[in-house]
Chain A
């Protein structure tokens, strides 16, 4: 199977030939890939070299943590990729982003008010949890809407706090 894998904007063409072989940018390599200690930790032997990484699925992407670095990666089946290019913009950009509470906590403040424009990386909400104040940031630009909480509210994990459209 052929995949097109995008790492922080750079594309790699990777073909899985069989359980032990892949073709990376035209070159055939011997691989041995296993999950260690259950997921998300994986061990890769690539042409005799040993690597380990954690792989976490995130909204449509995979986050790979390796040797102290984080890579945001999109893996697409080559056919899917061709279809999505032909079909124009992807769904995720047009839809609403729901900010859910990553943990139980107390809402301290909302620096931005409803209807205001936000940029990627702007702080949307400050949540106190584990004795610390945490900044929840916007993953993309948009308009703040549907604010469901106010300062002083106790929130549960996964509770919807607000959205960005």
Chain B
């Protein structure tokens, strides 16, 4: 493998280019109109244009990507996450072209892509799934209503083709269920072109914990420990950490969950890097939720505590080599956190913010890593997701990684767009977060960005001084501007006119 095409953009494209560079592999970037000046285009050895800015006319154009792979003489394609990463037909098309797809086999992608089939497959392998409709994916409304009583309320209606919370509805009683089934089906149909739904018991006080899997082509499967991803807003992850404070020092739980994750991956003959997501209830009962058959956004925290470069390992696996590690080699050293820095305003309903990044001062120093695809002068558009960067902190223990993260968030300066940095700063200060007492409902139900009592707050006084000085500066500038206008001709012109008058 001498040349790899990266079918993605943003920070993840940069991340993959870096791994290739370190391995001495040439890189081919693809880009849309909006991304001509993006970092991945500038860092890659070669770059080719896909088309206009909207994803479906650029990064989702599998035909064009394959054509560029052919023309550039690439031997492999890395899909990153999102876009074409979990499309079995694209993985198959790569293989048909004689290209290496840096990811799992198409059969594993489709087996895990349909949530109902995935549930059936892993439960056959002895892995418990959240109680619900089992592996049945195409039940009628009447059948769903009949099963609902058995599953028990509250429950969730989920789309079989789903993801990202689309086509998902929470049901509290049988009365409201018929309407909710229909609206879930409509949303699933419009998002995925598939209106099938299934039922799952709603696990209350749940934790979302996932295990990173690596599997080679020789049947060796290992896990790299867990990631705690319970801090979400509307099913979008905001902050991840490892080890999970909920699992804590319960090594037995960690080991059995890891073993189960490996078993679930083996059930679909999984190869390459993947992630098994679990839902864990208050009593530490855990259930298989789904498998992400790709590299995850939050993979760096696992890299920080295990010391393993997951992207390099992906490439190694795709080259047909054995894993560099056995399960016994894997240790979690210290603690790592990742804050997703998004272009959105936490003080205004997390509304996305677009604009030109006029200034960016990245935090550095001990234990800090920043994965980003933007720089000053780059524009955040509404065509793609709002992720600006991933701020990652490592510490010898959780207290240290939190204080490092706090420090780094304070150092981070971005101007031009609003960011959710204040949200993360508040989170680092929250006593619930510090003590590790949070579940998947925490951000939406127990966390607020509203200002509490600020009377006698010394910060309010400083803010007042800053606002006043800025207003004063502006006032001075505008009055100078008027004065300058009094004589808008240059002295040379003025002298010229004066001389002509006196001829």
A residues bordering B, Cβ < 8 Å? 1, 3, 5, 7-8, 10, 12, 14, 16, 22, 24, 31, 33, 35-42, 44, 46, 51-55, 62-71, 73, 75, 102-105, 129-137, 157
Contact = CB atoms under 8 A, between A and B. Distances in A.
Interface in B454-471: 454-455, 459-471
Interface string B444-456: 0000010100110
Contact of B429 (A31, A68, A135): A68
Interface string B464-486: 11111111110100000000000
In this complex, the member of B234, B347, B466, B475 whose beta carbon has the largest number of chain A beta carbons within 10 angstroms is B466
Given A38-B415, A131-B385, A10 B460 contact: yes
B479 to A, nearest CB: 11
B138 interface: no
Contacts of B429: 68
Interface stretch (B265-273, B320-328, B348-356): B348-356
Nearest to B454: A8
B467 A75 contact: yes
A7 B472 contact: no
Contacts of B471: 3, 62, 75
Contacts of A36: 413
Contacts of A7: 454, 460-461, 463-464, 467
B410 interface: yes
A18 to B, nearest CB: 11
Contact of B459 (A14, A55, A67, A136): A67
A40 B454 CA distance: 23
Contacts, number: 154
Contacts of B413: 36-37, 41, 52
Nearest to B406: A68
Contacts of A8: 451, 454, 460
B285 interface: no
A153 to B, nearest CB: 16
A54 B334 CA distance: 34
B331 interface: no
Contact of B386 (A10, A12, A63, A130): A130
In this complex, the member of B349, B351, B410, B424 whose beta carbon has the largest number of chain A beta carbons within 10 angstroms is B351
Contacts of B410: 67
B382 A46 contact: no
Given A68-B429, A134-B351, A75 B465 contact: no
Contact of B464 (A12, A131, A157): A12
B465 A31 contact: yes
Q: Which 7 A-B pairs have the closest CB atoms?
A: A68-B425, A37-B359, A71-B463, A75-B471, A73-B467, A12-B464, A64-B463
A8 B353 CA distance: 24
Contact of B469 (A16, A69, A105, A130): A16
B397 interface: no
Interface in B347-379: 347-354, 358-359, 361
A67 B425 contact: yes
Contacts of B424: 68
17 contacts: A7-B464, A10-B454, A10-B455, A12-B465, A14-B468, A22-B465, A46-B462, A51-B466, A64-B467, A66-B459, A68-B425, A103-B351, A105-B382, A130-B352, A132-B234, A134-B352, A135-B349
A52 B234 CA distance: 32
B470 to A, nearest CB: 5
Nearest to B470: A55
Contacts of B131: none
A53 B463 contact: yes
Given A7-B454, A7-B460, A37-B359, A42 B466 contact: yes
A33 B469 contact: yes
A5 B464 contact: yes
Nearest to A63: B347
B384 interface: yes
B422 A68 contact: yes
A10 B347 CA distance: 20
Contacts of A67: 410, 425, 459
B409 interface: yes
B141 interface: no
B42 interface: no
B435 interface: no
A5 B19 CA distance: 52
Contacts of A51: 462, 466
A14 B465 contact: yes
B236 interface: yes
B56 interface: no
Contacts of A42: 466, 469-470
Contact of A130 (B385, B425, B468): B385
A42 B359 CA distance: 12
B351 A102 contact: yes
